[in-house]
Each structure stands twice: as C-alpha cells, then as structure tokens.
Amino acid sequence: MKKLLLAGMASLALVSAADADVQIKMKPGAQCWSYQGYDTRFYGDFAGGQALTVAFVFQEMNDHGGITTTAYNGDRAWVNGPDGFYLDGNREPTPNDPFIYTEKSGRYIFNLYEHGSGTTLPVFFQICAVREH
C-alpha cells in the first residue's frame, strides 16, 4: 500500500511540474499583462510585427542569508517563437531599442531561466504589446 501511495504522489508531482508554464492572457483592450508567483516560463499568442516589452523582478537568497532583488528587461529572457525564432537570454542589451519584435504570428515562449522552470521566491513578470511596426 505504501508503494502505491508513493507512486501516486510521485505521479502527481510530475504532472504538477509539467503544467508550470503560465499562459499570457491579456484582457480585451489591455496592452499589458503581469504575473506574480513562482513560475518562470510564460507563453502567449502574438501577432507578427508586434513590439513587446518585457520586465521581470527576481528575488534570490544571497550568501549572507538575506534576499537580493534584481530587475531585468527583455534582454535577459530567453524567447522562442514560430519558425525557429530564438533570442538568447544572455544577449547584449539594446538601450535605444528595448523591444522584442515578433516576426510572425504565433505562440511565443518567454523563459526567465535558460533551463528549468520555477523558483523558490516570488517573481514579478510583465509583458506589454506596445505597438506594431
């Protein structure tokens, strides 16, 4: 009986981890969507030619037992989209052009970590579809 219970709990944990991606759902007429929680992967459908801004805030434990808070823009997010669209989260910042431009309509995935999903301290994430270019 214990083995069955442990197997069931392990299965539930795997299913829960698989659903860690959060869907970006902007309300009608809204330009921005935000999230606060423990997930670090987000996905949404965007039109081709849109200019997106991304901002997020991480909290991390430091070496002294305290918490360090750091804000980032879209240059620090990994982005995947239709037809092989890819932006590395370690790319050089572009202060004069802070936008992520969608090349084609479709689903775009924003990952705040290169690999994995989730964190032990809350994250704030905001994305805005500013304009089309």
Residue 100 is assigned to a structural domain of this protein: yes
- The pLDDT value recorded for residue 11 is 38
Please name the helix (run of DSSP H) or strand (run of DSSP E) that holds residue 37, with its range, or none: strand 32-37
CA distance 76 to 55: 9
The candidate with the shortest Cα–Cα distance to 74, out of 35, 126, 22, 8, is: 126
Q: What is residue 13's three-state secondary structure?
A: helix
pLDDT at 13 over 60: no
The candidate with the shortest Cα–Cα distance to 74, out of 38, 50, 106, 47, is: 50
pLDDT > 90 in the chain, percent: 59
Residue 3 is assigned to a structural domain of this protein: no
Residue 65 is assigned to a structural domain of this protein: yes
Residue 71 is assigned to a structural domain of this protein: yes
Tens of pLDDT, residue by residue over 75-119, are 899 999 999 999 999 888 777 888 999 999 999 999 998 776 678
Paired strand residues for 50? 132
Domain extent, residue 114, equals 21-132
